[in-house]
Structure 1
Amino acid sequence: MRQPKNTDLILSNVARHIRLDDEEERIFISFLHPKTLKRKEVQLKQGDVCTHSAFIIDGALKGYTVDKEGGEHVINFAVSDWWIADMYSLISQKPGILTIEALADSEVLLLAKDDQQLLFEKVPKFERFFRILIENSLVANQQRLINNLTLSAEERYQHFMTKYPFIMECAPLHSIASYLGMTPEFLSKIRRRMAGRLP
């Protein structure tokens, strides 16, 4: 794979949690591999073992699972400056439960699980960085569960619009509805109701 050229965004992402010197940055960058995904292109297929974490430089991805009846259940979205992976599969190296698919043409940087382990050996402070990412993911998932239990459907949608403005532009209605735990028809009613209140 070719080496990444524009790494400012991912280095800024890392710098929020740990400090790297020039050599540590060089080592980290050497493990990253750029990949271009077209809209609807699948990065990971449900049932496959997740071998990479993906950092989004540009674009948007969604993680979802499909039930026995063919129904799609969106678990998460990831936009520019976010990481995404099937964490269960990445950690256990067992077949995954998620399909990860591009919602728009996207540029990502991939970090292989094996390379991540080498990175921990060469730059041990990255163990802290990825621990923080996992902790933040747990907190976000808990907050989403609480929101689904305590907020009205309209409040959940308003919160989503604030958090994911780019997703509003590129994700199909059924994907947003699935993430919010409602039917596309009900979400359409909410959108019409909210639009009716606009000046």
Structure 2
Amino acid sequence: MIRFVIAFVVIVLFLGLSLFFVPIDTLLKRVNTSSAVSYSLAEGNLFNGRINDVSYKASDDAMPLALGDYFYEGNILFTGIKVAFNNEDSSTVGVIKTNFFNGDLHLEDFVTEAGYSTNGLGMLGLKINIDKLTLNDGSCSHISGTISLSNDSFAESVKGDLRCLENNIYEVKLLNSSNVAMATMIYKPGFIDLEIETSILKADVSVFLGKRMGFTIPL
């Protein structure tokens, strides 16, 4: 009995220590069976390292969206794995948790800021804060978070709560400080549809553009 216990402990320790030496590139190639996410080089092991030139492709014929280089730190939990990540300038940070028992994937404490160019308004500033996003079988089952949108032409920035719809579509109604809806943003794989009230603009252009104007932003 004692020999069995000792042997079991030795095996567990050996397997645990071996995780420090297994290259993350080997693990990712086994786990990542999707062609949507790709990278050029992964350095490190399960517990810390760097993944370079991460990109996302919404479909086979879509242009890949470059996401940049990311550093990560991983921990093994009783229910799965927890990975904290950030890009080089920490403009994007977050935590990913996997659940081995039900297959759920959680994104928590995620913050990112980015600028998107439009023909009519120039550069739009987008800030995303996700407290928690739960994916089951690749589809969103729950999301709690906000999006803020700003532009030099806006009288003020607008903000709203995220909702996940079917087929990996996300929607947010953006409100001003008076809690009046000023814009609607819909994310679909590969692009963003944005529709704004022209009253959000500093200049009164409703005579020329009407009450609403729309943009499609490819990703």
Structure with the greater alpha carbon radius of gyration: 2
The answer to whether TM tops 0.5 is: no
State the TM-score, normalizing by the size of structure 1: 0.26
Q: Which protein has the bigger helix share?
A: 1
